[in-house]
Amino acid sequence: MTARVIMVQGTASSAGKSILVTALCRIFRQDGYRVAPFKAQNMALNSYVSADGGELGRSQAVQAEAAGAEMTVHMNPILLKPETDARCQVVLLGRPFKTLSAGEYYDFKDQLWPVVQGSLARLRSQYDVVVIEGAGSPAEVNLKDNDIVNMRVARAADAPVLLVADIDRGGVFASLVGTLDLLEPAERLLVKALVVNKFRGDVELLKPGLDFLRERTGVPVAGVIPYVRDLGVADEDSVSLESREWQGAPPAKVAIGLVRLPHIANFDDFDPLRAEPEVELRLVERPAQLAGVDLIILPGSKTTVGDLQHLRRSGLGAAVVAANQRGVPVLGICGGYQMLGRRLLDPLGIESADPVSDGLDLLPVDTTFAPAKATQRVKARVLASPGLFSLAEGAAVEGYEIHMGQSLVDGRAALRVSECGGVEVSAEDGAVSADGLVAGTYVHGLFDRPGLRRRLLAWLAERKGERLGESAPAFDRQRAYDRLADVVRVSLDMRLIYGLVGLEAGR
């Protein structure tokens, strides 16, 4: 069969497209339909790995998980990973394809349209419903000629479009009316309903504005979705960092400083730490913000060398080293792990023009960049070591790797990997310093399971004479998806939504 489709487009980036698609995927699944997400082109540094080792946007992986569907690169056939303001790595059907400037990619996009069509057709042959997500705004007049992600997809799939706008940022009426006004007549006809997102306050006070939208545009308003705090759903890109609440509920027993890198990647690694009620997770952008932290984390990065240079220029690199010399533990994940080593070698110019870059020299590790990218899911256990992981020996870790470069470790490893890409192995990952106060790993998802997370937090608390109380409720994304679906189901006119899709509500 050919799946029914519905598309979510936004008046701007971060209007809530990804979250609404996640919610609709969950609702359709709850109502008994086989559902899959689709986004033709995604620009994000948060990514994930499919079972066969392909790389796709983190938001599509989240949406697939909410839908109960096995994630596949066809849900996001084109992934753009920015390396500078005007250059990105193009990941095509899960594999690195080319690194292109913005102008080069713009000229190349039309050649990718058959890939988009093929992936969408494949999904539609396998599912009952495909929920399609647009990107940015469909009214970017300078980009419309080479559009392969917004209205061109909607027209090709004959998809009814929900147009969503973020009222929390202001200007919601102008953004909805203006977007519709800038669309071509045939495109405007595809917009079947409007959605107001992230509303705070009394919805009764909004009703005159909703009446205005209906009268001014002739398009029904499907509903108003409230602003929901701490959804527990992984975000698509670092724009969301600006609106997050980072301070833990006082008094926190453990303070963790997460260093914000210019090209921070896969920062949802730390959502389980944010969910801990006795933990303050502090986003660090200046050296002074490291004062009083019990642990410093260097996260993943798309451009390790460039972000390492930022650490040096900003003084954060020296501050991290000085803090560690005072006894503050440091943990690096993926690119952050590479930065903690002695040297980063780049003889082929993969990351930068410098063949050799000095790391922070906190771990006995040398990393060499090469064209091949490691993308695989892994299972591992924590190895015995002093310091950071001293209470966590044997704790299970299940996550994924996405990185360029291989690291040579002259010392103790952090993890013993037992499965890689679905194949049983026996390999070591990461490194731990001799005193145990610095550790690094390539594995994302390190804190998803409570074993390692709680034992690490307990060790940090004990060092300062504290004792952790009861843990937070288990970090459960499935429960978060259900909560999100509940909010959206009561906020939108689901009879209207199902009517647009051409299906009965539940079966």
Active site residues: 334, 444
- Classify residue 27 by its DSSP letter: H
**Nearest 5°: phi and psi at 150?**
-110, -110
DSSP-based three-state secondary structure for 356: strand
**DSSP, residue by residue, 378-411:** EEEEEPP-SGGGTT-TT-EEEEEEEEEEEEEESS
Q: How far is it, in rounded angstroms, from Cα 230 to Cα 248? A: 12
Query: 181 Cβ partners below 8 Å, 6+ apart?
Result: none
Going by C-alpha positions, the residue among 305, 428, 290 that lies closest to residue 360 is 305
For residues 298 and 280, what is the distance between their CA atoms, to the nearest angstrom? 16
Contacts of 317 (CB under 8 A, 6+ apart): 308, 311, 360
Q: Residue 109 has what DSSP assignment?
A: G
Closest Cα partner for 402 from 28, 95, 24, 104? 95
274's enclosing H/E stretch is helix 271-274
Q: Are 156 and 114 in contact (CB under 8 A)?
A: no
Cα separation, 33 vs 131, in Å, equals 12
Question: What secondary structure does DSSP assign to 442-504, as a single string?
Answer: S-B-TTSSHHHHHHHHHHHHHHTT----SPPSP--HHHHHHHHHHHHHHHB-HHHHHHHHT--
User: Residue 342 burial (CB < 10 Å; 0-12/13-18/19+)?
Assistant: middle
Alpha-carbon distance of 133 to 418, in angstroms, equals 36
